[in-house]
Amino acid sequence: MDLIILNHLNFTYKDHAYIGDEFEIIHDIVITQKTHFKINKSKLNVAVGDYVYVKEENGYFGIVENIEDEKTHLFVASVDFKELFKVEVLVESFNGNVATYIEEIIRKTFLQNSDIKQNLNYLSISVETSKLGSFVFDADKVMTIYELLELANRMYGVYIKHEVIFNDGSFSGILIRIVNVTRGLKIKADSLILEDLIINDS
């Protein structure tokens, strides 16, 4: 399997590498866990904060958290893309469609931010569920979008998924899907024949 590195500022291709015989990919829509890759090359154009993408049936998309240089190879550790949402925002009490409320906050933070450096123009949002509910917050309440998503998940079963979008075979952007929560899965290998690995969602 190939690991592709993408620039976190503009979503452009930076580098790629073959994943060695030690890897652990974790898909979990609720709990944040680390994914690890052994890279069979000594140099890789990658920085903490960049995106990593593995093209498989279920795929993997995450954010680089740590890079370890072992001279003959590299170990790259990443966390799920939803870690991007650990940014603080001012939240207000709300009554209505919870999915629409989440969309509005994500849009204001990452697409319509007055600080243009915070805007990620390659993001798009799709609301794919509708759940009526309410949130009651104190005045001037500040919390991370991540915490708000966890709250929406616990109270109403609403959370996010993400998909990498392609245009004519090139990386184009990230689609954030606001959906009902589903289960995650873990894919682990140690000295496997990777060409024969089949990943099935469950």
Model confidence over 46-57: pLDDT tens digits? 999 999 998 775
* Structural contact between residues 90 and 106, judged by C-beta atoms closer than 8 angstroms: no
pLDDT digits (tens, 9 = 90+) for 138-172: 999 999 999 999 999 999 999 998 899 999 889 99
Give the chain's domains with CATH numbers: 2-82+190-196 (no CATH), 85-180 (3.55.50)
pLDDT digits (tens, 9 = 90+) for 74-125: 889 999 898 999 999 999 999 999 999 999 999 999 999 999 989 999 999 9
With 0.85 as the threshold, say if the pTM is over it.
no
